[in-house]
Structure 1
Amino acid sequence: MRGAAAAVVCAAVLAATGCGSGTQSTEEGSGSTAQFDPIAVVASINQWGMLAKEVGGDQVRVTSILGSTNVDAHDFEPKTSDIATVSKAKVLVANGAGYDEWATKAVSGDTTVVTAATTVGASDGDNPHLWFSKDARKAMAKELSEAFSKIKPDSKDYFAKRLAAWQEDEDELETSMDKFSEKHPEATYASTESVAYYLMSDLNVRDVTPEQYAQTMLNGGEPAPADVQDLQTLLEKHKAGMLINNPQEASDTTNLITGTAHKSDVPVVNVTEQVPERYDSLVDWMDSLVTEFDKALASDATSPEATPSPSSSASDAGSK
């Protein structure tokens, strides 16, 4: 009789709670047991996909379309299956500023779109590598938390806690960046392509890349031989503390320039656009780059060819 009674109680509990099939989960921060139904999030690129996962935790299911560092991101052509994935997203996380128009064109009417360019007021023609900007990262994290909270209001506290934890990591990164700036107050760099412009600006490292070369590369063109020669001369005379190279935009021109840097003992730091697989978060990647820049500038300072930084008449970073 006791066994039968226990079975009746168990059946009643299962019926009341809806358990038994493994579809229930306690949402952290909500204080209640609710249906576990993660938000379908699609990110055009893995930089913002990583951030969405950090803010959303186990309440989101994130798919990043472009995550390879072996392709030219600016010429990326999505497959039909990629477009289908985007069209089914509850939340689309995009970069904007002309970087990933293919993604925003594929969204359906009921999809929430969170775009980095919109959060910081960037437009087509501006440097699109916004994930390197601390302002864009912080704005996107906040926007994502708010978007997720609107879709799952019972998990608002959970998303707020995730956002606060991420902000602590970002604050630590910015502290490291401040220390870098103090250590290298007169640092300069040149670049084969303007991928790291925002990060270098946040680090107060001055861009001395010849203006015409930089603008041509930013607009996706092929620089004139004279502009390439100007950059080579700058490196040969050691007017830049390091050369930033984007291997995803490799060409005969960039190979020529990196070759000149190596021959001139100017440190070369490769900076990809997408996050390499070995990193778990956007902040971790940024922190590793700061460390690489620090080592490069320290190496350049010991070079027998090192000279004082160029005068203020050198090309300013501007919109490179």
Structure 2
Amino acid sequence: MKKRSLPTLLVLPAAAALVLSGCATGASGSSEAADGGAISGVTSTNVYGDIARTAGGDLVDVTRILSDPSHDPHSYEADARTQLAVSKADVVVENGGGYDSFVDTMVDASGTDATVVDAVDVSGLDPEAGHDDHADEATDAASDDATPEADEHGADDHDDHDHGAFNEHVFYSLPSMAKLATALADEFGRVDTANADTFTANAEAFGTKIADLEAQAASIKTAHDGDPVAYTEPVPGYLFDAMGLVNVTPAEFSEAIEEGDDVSPAVLNETLKLFTDGKVDLLAYNEQTSSPETEQVEKAATDAGVAIVPVTELLPEGEDYVAWQQSNIDAISEALGK
């Protein structure tokens, strides 16, 4: 059995939500913000909760719907407390792109007039375009300027892989998260005009830290542009793109894993051969979901001596966004250096 299912949502009647109003936590409500209290924010995951808190500081009270890294955002069931928090929010933050559509369902059911900030929309990334256009460009460059190492990895074979589906995991896009912090600061400043400058300064400070991470990714690209890599799901795709790494995983494999579908024997065999034939330099493995197929891929990588980099879709306990992405960058850099 795969440990992933399509998202389901339990929406309680309005009367039930009102009964539970006394036990809701983390949502201070639109009226309190208007009266000078904390702005009430609700985010789909703790990733966006951390960025909202970074932009808003102590002036924003954030409810994070999903925080446990062992939970899969794709299989979330809402409860009455969360529904109530949404109904009382000033600002709601979602990933968008179909990743956390349960948020839209909750917003519609609550009748709230909260502003919904969609990270995909803010990012400017085009859902109608493929997520790894940069990877395709790197592949073309690898074909045009083939080195002995590229030939060893079979870079010319990478063009056969179709990775055109939009990658909704925009929280691995560093510049997109800097844009999100700015958008949230603007929205918080609209709700609480007296502290607008504080929100702007917070977002700018966050942007400076993101710029440092981007510089590190660019440095890795200088050393490893065009290096072939694989992943069980496209979670770190945008970070790989920033590093110039070329994903060569068969699209049919990663798409099936992401959707919780079975992988055909032919596609699984093609994926396993990436490791047995020495065609990839590392495997990014989504720790939050697993299946017999991903476990086979993990074993193939281990047996072939290919470095495995664990990735998650939620912040590990005790880490903020910058520390989390720093850990990811460090792990990828170390794996590529082996």
TM-score by length of 2: 0.75
1:21-70 per-position Cα deviation (integer Å, ceiling 9, x unaligned): xxxxxxxxxxxxxx852101110111111000111111101110101111
Tell whether the 8 Å contact from 1:194 to 1:217 is kept in structure 2 after alignment.
no
Tell me the amino acid that sits aligned with residue 66 of structure 2: L
Query: Alignment partner for residue 271 of structure 2, among 231, 235, 241?
Result: 231
Say what the alpha-carbon RMSD is for the aligned residues. 1.8
Show structure 1 runs of 4+ deviating over 6 A: none
Q: Runs of 5+ in structure 2 lacking a partner? A: 1-34, 129-164
C-alpha distance in 2 between matches for 1:179 and 1:145: 30
Query: Alignment partner for residue 216 of structure 2, among 176, 186, 202?
Result: 176
Q: Superposition pairs for residues 1-320 of structure 1, below 5 Å? A: 37-107=37-107, 108-119=111-122, 120-123=124-127, 126-279=166-319, 281-299=320-338
C-alpha distance in 1 between matches for 2:125 and 2:295: 34
1:101-140 per-position Cα deviation (integer Å, ceiling 9, x unaligned): 1112222332011111221255496221110012321221
Tell me the amino acid that sits aligned with residue 120 of structure 2: A
Deviates more, 1:38-47 or 1:84-93: 84-93
Tell me the amino acid that sits aligned with residue 109 of structure 1: T
1:210-260 per-position Cα deviation (integer Å, ceiling 9, x unaligned): 232233334442221111111101111110100010011111111111011
Bigger helix fraction: 2
Tell me the amino acid that sits aligned with residue 323 of structure 2: D
Tell me the amino acid that sits aligned with residue 263 of structure 1: D
Secondary structure of the corresponding residue to residue 82 of structure 1: helix
Shift in CA distance, 42/272, structure 1 to aligned 2, threshold 3 Å:
same
Offset of residue 293 of structure 1? 0.4
Higher RCO structure (Cα 8 Å, ≥6 apart) = 2
1:252-311 per-position Cα deviation (integer Å, ceiling 9, x unaligned): 1111110111011011111011010131x2122111101000111112xxxxxxxxxxxx
Secondary structure of the corresponding residue to residue 106 of structure 2: coil
Higher-Rg structure is 1
Offset of residue 186 of structure 1? 3.5
Tell me the amino acid that sits aligned with residue 96 of structure 1: G
Tell whether the 8 Å contact from 2:49 to 2:64 is kept in structure 1 after alignment.
yes
C-alpha distance in 2 between matches for 1:276 and 1:117: 22
Tell whether the 8 Å contact from 1:97 to 1:122 is kept in structure 2 after alignment.
no
Q: How many correspondences in the alignment?
A: 265
